[in-house]
Every structure is written in C-alpha cells, then in structure tokens.
Structure 1
C-alpha cells in the first residue's frame, strides 16, 4: 500500500504512453529549423498549453520547463546571480530544503534572509511578513509555499503577498506550489504571485520534469541558472526534454479536466484514514489539523512511539509511509517543519506522514489504519 505520494506519485498510464510515443517518434531538437524540429517544437508548445489548463490566467509564454521543483526554486532564489548580495529574501521556517538551502547560499553572498515563524497550526502571519518588509532596503523577494509537504497545511499566500506589496510594491512574490497544484485550486494571478514552481512527478507526471511559471511572461527579475543557447526564452538553456515536458503537460491536462472530482476523492480517502486511525488509536494526534490542508496529506503523531521503528514495521507489512524529516548520513533529524510548529523533538520523532493519491481507495486505507494499530501494539 503506497501512502507516500508527497514524495512522488505513480505516472498515469496516459502519461507514460505519451512519453514513450514522443521518445519513439519525435526525438528531434525543438530548436532546429527544419520540419522535424518544428514537429518537436509543436509538441513542446502543446505541453505548455496543458500546464496553462491547470493554472488560470497563465500564458504559454510564461511557462518555462525545468528539471523539477528544486531547479526552479534555486533559479528563483538567485543565489547564483551577480547581484545576489543586494537582495533581501523573506521566507518561512517551514519551507522545503530546496528553498532553505539556496537561501543559506544567498546569505553567504551577503544577502539578508528573514525567516518567518509559523503558528502551532503551521501557518504564517501576514502581519509578520509586512513587518519584515518594512525593515528591507534594496530589492526584495518573498518565497512562501502554497502547501507544506509534511503536514499539507495551506499557507495564506495571497494575504502575505498583499501585505508585503502594500509596503514594497516592487517585491517579487514566489510560491512553491509543488504540493498544492492539482490538489487544491491554484490561481496565481488572483493571489498576486509573480512566479511559481512545481514538479511533474507530484502530479502523476514524469520524474525529472518541472515548470517555472511567470504570471507576467516579460518579468525578468529571475536570473537564469543555466546559461547557453538561450532556450526557454533565455531562462533555461539546454536542449529541452520534450518527452518529459509532454508527459507533464498531459498530466496537467488530465488533472485540470477532473480537478473537483479528484480533490473530492483524495479528501474522502484522507478523512477515511484519519477517522480509522483516531478510532483505533485514540491517543494519536493529527498535526496541523486546525489549519486548512490539502486533501491528500495526514501527518500523525503517535505519542511515546519511535517513528523510525514504526516506519520499519509498516514497511515489513507492506505499507509505505514517510517520516517527513530530513536525513543526513543515515542519522535522522527531527522535522524542521514540526519543530517550527512548536512540537518537541520527541514529538517530531513520533510523527509519520501518510499521503494519498487518486490511485488509493478507502478500503485500502482502512486496512492500512488497522496495520498501523497492529504495529503500534507490537512496539509497546
């Protein structure tokens, strides 16, 4: 039972079919001037249209294909840019490492980094972002995730953006939407987001595919990370991975066509799982449950239990879940997200993440909940 879909999702069959078909029949360079290059270029542009179908108000010219969310986030943070030291970056303590590590690199170049606290529910206060904006001198970037990968907590992105731009209208507002797109409606234009990033493999698309989205295609406040032949409007040089882009575009098209139905299905599965867990294990606590969450994510604390031991037991029984914490050289660390939400290290270590997709069923997750309960009894 695969309950680790925030890590990666299984590609849709139509996606794998599209990728394979493209690799077999259209392995041409889209920058070539001849008719075969035009054929590849046409597929690439259709893939951009697929992304736009999922993101209202976005133009194809603003869709830049990357290798994934990590590359996109590094590109946005701009630690590589000549003027890196001039920026102030306002972000949160619960961001993905692909934001926090580039932020550290940016700081080493002389930039100022402001890390906003979150509440016990995992949400940032827009007033804190406004306060930080008042302290800034020089160019400003704001990076705030739409939804957290560990807890599923949805951030007030639009309110944060408005609060900052009321003070600094020139601020560049970025959102990492990797865990939100296709799981909740994402309207970047309405939220006042200037640039967003996500990965295809979180959405049943291919691994190694991603998108950087500019709500204004002419906005050039993001510096290219990869220089070369000027592909992707100069924002991401190198011969495009047409097959991966086609797969991502197809995955986005399918989700856009069935968004409400798929959101409802994932919410029903998650709620079914949480009800079963809380009935079988009354002492369990759902982290972030008081906040708005994406419909596919449950981060559950089992007091007094060692999370790694429970994870290993579940793996033995055929249930794949996640600690949701970073590991370094095999040594586990407490989740920076959960400790930022005021959990102790012991409480963070006792928490597991279960994340669902449209491929899961309510019958399956009820069985998974029973296996969790059985494993907990074995560990006590």
Structure 2
C-alpha cells in the first residue's frame, strides 16, 4: 500500500479511536433521547454525558451547550440581531467581523449586509485592536456584536480574543468566538477568551463529521428566533432529534484532545517547525505568513514566489502528500485568499500544511523529499529570465 503524508488536519482530522469506540457503543443504544421510556432514557444519558464532557472542556455550563450539525450552523444560530441578554429589548444593530474570518462568518448570516463591518488585519494577520476600538466609537450608542476567530484557519495566527472582548464589553457589546481551530489544540475556554459564545466543530479534532456545538457562557443570553423549530430539543435553541452517536464521538474526541494539550502542542510545534525548515532549505525565498505573530502549534501557511500554489498542490497530491491551498471550504473553487489580501500580502494564495493527532515525523520527511522534487521540476520548466 502506498503511504500518503496527510498534512491537512485544519480541513479535517482522521477519526480518533476514542471517538470510534464511543460511536459504536452509542449505535448499539436503542432509543430517541426525547422518549421517556427506558430506551429513550438510555439515549438521553449518552447525550447528557457528552454535553457535560464538552462543557468541562471549555469551562462553561452544561445547559449552555447546544449541539448542531457543524460549526457553520452554530455560527448561523449565533450571528443574529435577535441575540439578547436578559432585560434587553433592542436588536443588535452592527456586526463587526475580523477581515480574516472564515467565509461562513464573513457572510454575516442573519445580519443584513449593510449591518456588517469588517475590521482590518495587521500585516502579520492579527486583528487591529485600534481599528476595532475606532469602529466601536463610530457606532457608539448602537448595540454591537464582534465575531472573531481564536485561530485563523489559513495562517494559524492566534487572535487576541480576550483583549478584543474587553473593548467590546466596555461598549456593552457581545463577543462570538469561532473556536474551530483552537479547541483541542490550545487552551480555549470562556475564561481564556472572555467570549460570550464559542462555537466549534467535531471533525477538526478527530471526531465525526456532521457534528458541532454552540456554547453560551451563561443563561443571560437568548436567541429569540432559532432557525430550526420543532420539538424543543437542545433547550429550545435547536430543534430536531439529536445525532446521539455523532455527539458521543465528538465528546470523546474533544476529551482526548484536551487531556494532552501541553504535550501534544509541543510535539506539533516541533513537526511544524521542522517542515518550515525544510521549506526554507529547499526554497530560501519562501514567505511564511504570520511568522512574526503568535501561532497555533499545528499550522503553517507559505508561498514560494514564482510557483503557483494550486499547481504545487496538485503535484504534491500526485506524489502522495496532501495539503490545502488556503481554506478547505474555498480551495476547490479557485478563489483567492481573502486572508492574504487582508494582510496586504503580494501573493493571492498560499499552501497550508496542518498537523494533528495522527501526524508523525515521517510525514514531515516525506513532505520534504517530495517538495524538493516538485520545486526542482517546476522551476526547471520556467522560461529563462
């Protein structure tokens, strides 16, 4: 069997054994968790055990966890003008969005387009806190929401969520944090982010696809107009019979990931740094994005001047190395990277290598050998200057 080096964990991570075992056990459990008979109570117990595990991982209340079909649905539920605190009557009037946010957040979801304002990034890919403060000042008197990633999905740059939250809360606003790329990789809790809402996805950390969660910091926040209405599941915030097996796998994967944060973070950082050393040795003119900013330990975005990232991506794939060109959600659509554009980068796209629980040093070594071959071949075909 041909060995492939899989370096695309930011797109999806292989299913962990812990998640597989939890899912198989759940699949053997008969019953709808909304039913009151013994079978239903057994399914309900699995669901609530998973809810408690997710709540522990992020330091939030159990009743604040709402299971969804994924992070995109969770974002759509949270990004609403009708997210209210107790005693508030007026809707949220403005959605401030970091310019490097995932495309599902940049769309603004249930906010009208004219209510959405992008907040620029620095050249290193970090949201400008000065620009955020200025945007809040311009909108003084209006209720505001900030949507900000904990970690950028393309560059791995860590965003100053807690610092941004301090500014937004001082203006009586609400903070929604996309924690998709940080949960299970960095310590990501309500205490570390000071966000009001977190959302994240199962398959990024070794759980099954099709499961995500929205987490409320406390009971003072309510979504008055849920998208899915029906039987009142998930405390009335998201109707529909829960995917018990998927949720059990999600919770098991998250528990496994958070149990080894420090040691795994150090291991992944060594793999990432080793990969970047190989890239720079092969092509010293390589640009690594966000290198001057704090980054998550598992991801690297880079471009080699004169070599098209998409052509390289296909060449690497043909030689059994899997990477992405930017976000997986846009890499198949021939779209330029809005993240690089927001950083003022000369390149329109970059390659992204990302590691996870199953990554090994052998993956890095295989990548280096193949990259050297691909770069040599592509440069040999370029016309002489």
Sort the TM-score into its range (normalised by shorter chain): over 0.9
Q: Counterpart of 2:93?
A: 87
Displacement of 1:127: 2.4
Q: Counterpart of 2:348?
A: 348
Map 1:1-380 onto structure 2 (within 5 A). Answer: 1-23=5-27, 25-56=28-59, 58-78=60-80, 87-103=93-109, 106-108=111-113, 112-136=115-139, 137-166=141-170, 168-169=171-172, 171-221=173-223, 223-325=225-327, 332-344=334-346, 347-349=347-349, 351-380=350-379
Displacement of 1:375: 0.2
Change (3 A) 1:130 1:187: same
Change (3 A) 1:329 1:270: closer
Displacement of 1:261: 1.4
Task: Between 120-129 and 66-75, report the one with greater CA deviation.
Answer: 120-129
Change (3 A) 1:260 1:223: farther
Alpha-carbon distance in 2 for matches of 1:158, 1:85: 24
Unaligned runs of 5+ in 1: none
Return the TM-score normalized by structure 1. Answer: 0.92
Displacement of 1:370: 2.1
Q: Considering only aligned residues, what root-mean-square deviation do their CA atoms show, in Å?
A: 2.1
Alpha-carbon distance in 2 for matches of 1:188, 1:369: 39
Return the TM-score normalized by structure 2. Answer: 0.91
Q: Are the equivalent residues in 1 in contact too, given 2:33–2:40 (CA < 8 A)?
A: yes
1:200-221 deviations in whole A, cap 9, x for unaligned?
Answer: 0001011001010111134215
Displacement of 1:191: 2.7
Alpha-carbon distance in 1 for matches of 2:91, 2:218: 25
Q: Are the equivalent residues in 1 in contact too, given 2:94–2:115 (CA < 8 A)?
A: yes
Task: Between 152-161 and 323-332, report the one with greater CA deviation.
Answer: 323-332
Task: Between 317-326 and 7-16, report the one with greater CA deviation.
Answer: 317-326
Q: Are the equivalent residues in 2 in contact too, given 1:119–1:341 (CA < 8 A)?
A: yes
Alpha-carbon distance in 1 for matches of 2:290, 2:125: 6
Unaligned runs of 5+ in 2: 380-385
Q: Are the equivalent residues in 1 in contact too, given 2:82–2:92 (CA < 8 A)?
A: no
Q: How many residues align?
A: 370
Runs of 4+ in 1 over 4 A off after TM superposition: 79-86, 325-331
Q: Are the equivalent residues in 1 in contact too, given 2:102–2:153 (CA < 8 A)?
A: yes
1:43-91 deviations in whole A, cap 9, x for unaligned?
Answer: 11110122123213x1111111111100001111127989998521011
Residue 353 of structure 1 aligns to a residue whose secondary structure is strand
Q: Counterpart of 2:383?
A: none
